[in-house]
Structure 1
Amino acid sequence: MDCVFCQLILEGTARWVSREAEACAFTPLNPLAPGHTLVVPTSHFTDMFETPPDVLTASMTLVQRVAAAMRAALDASGVNILSASGPGSEQSVPHLHFHVVPRWVDDGISTWPTGQSRHCLVGDPGTKLAAALNRGHKPHHGS
């Protein structure tokens, strides 16, 4: 098995925060902040584009619950939810995952991009997105 997240799920060796039928949550080995948690689907889906809507819904519901628990248990004043999908996104593990990072005022880290993309498009990107959505483009399931 090549996927590190699938292996953790199969072996049960992660530091679990929550294990549910469609999604699970665990703490990473090198957290960005105390309580930093990863939420992943329990089945293997490479990225946002491949994941079925019901699995994505279950994953995001767990993200929301983890975020609320961070506020209640860790006294976090906010959270950052970070995810990357696809080759151009700096995705580090080819299994859909969401970093839920608790934040506190003046905690000394920044998870927000500091620069802008150098990629240029012809035409208005918002108009192109609206047209694609209106044509009913749906995510692909499978590779």
Structure 2
Amino acid sequence: MRAEHHDPDCVFCGVEAGTQPARVVATTPDTLTFLPLNPVHPGHVLVAPSRHVADIWDLDEATAAGVGKAVLRAAHAVRAVHRPEGLNVIQSSGAVATQSVFHLHVHVVPRFTGDRMPRLWPEPAETDADRLDDSARRLRAALDAPGKPFLRGEGPFLQHE
């Protein structure tokens, strides 16, 4: 991996470079799969791009494809080795979403009845149909936009409510 694709202050870049300790379980030219320092339980792995990518908004399609393939391979390996009852695939972008290492990574977490993982989804709540319709309309427009300006952080789709 070329040095210009690493962040010298990033712990996951250090794992890729071999300067940070890790239990690496797989590598590809584009990805690294390894155990986190504090896994939920055995079988919990992280899949990260080899080059520094801060979050999902910094991710290009080719790297996304490589990460997606590595996640799928990891999910099948976790299933074969640990026989979980279920599986969570979790990617968090931004501190408010609980991202704590700002190098994109995907958690592949085997799940078992009564395990120590918390519930991930809140209880159902009332929704505003007009707001949902507006959201669906704006998302369709963003996804249909020529040149996909939202991929470059431009355009009228960056409104936050």
TM-score range for the pair, normalised by the shorter chain length: 0.7 to 0.9
Aligned-residue identity in percent: 35
**For residue 58 of structure 1, what is the aligned residue in structure 2?**
66
In structure 2, distance between residues paired with 1:87 and 1:135: 29
Given that 2:71 and 2:106 are in contact with CA atoms closer than 8 Å, whether structure 1 keeps it comes out as yes
Aligned residues: 138
1:56-97 CA distance string (max 9 Å, x none): 110111101111111111111221011112354231111110
Q: Counterpart of 1:48 in structure 2: which amino acid?
A: I
Greater helix fraction, Structure 1 or Structure 2: 2
Of 97-106 and 1-10, the range deviating more from structure 2: 97-106
Q: CA deviation at 1:111?
A: 4.5
**For residue 40 of structure 2, what is the aligned residue in structure 1?**
32
> Which portions of structure 1, spanning 4 or more consecutive aligned residues, are displaced by more than 6 angstroms?
none
Q: Confirm whether residue 129 of structure 1 aligns to residue 112 of structure 2.
A: no
Given that 2:25 and 2:33 are in contact with CA atoms closer than 8 Å, whether structure 1 keeps it comes out as yes
Given that 2:56 and 2:93 are in contact with CA atoms closer than 8 Å, whether structure 1 keeps it comes out as yes
**For residue 151 of structure 2, what is the aligned residue in structure 1?**
139
Q: CA deviation at 1:10?
A: 0.5
TM-score, normalized by length of structure 2? 0.76
Consecutive unaligned residues of structure 2, counting only runs of 5 or more, are: 1-7, 154-161
Q: Counterpart of 2:79 in structure 1: which amino acid?
A: R
Q: CA deviation at 1:109?
A: 2.6
Larger radius of gyration: 2
Which of 1 and 2 has higher RCO (CA within 8 Å, sep 6+)?
1
In structure 2, distance between residues paired with 1:128 and 1:66: 34
Q: Counterpart of 2:16 in structure 1: which amino acid?
A: I
Please tell me the root mean square deviation across aligned C-alpha atoms, in Å: 2.3
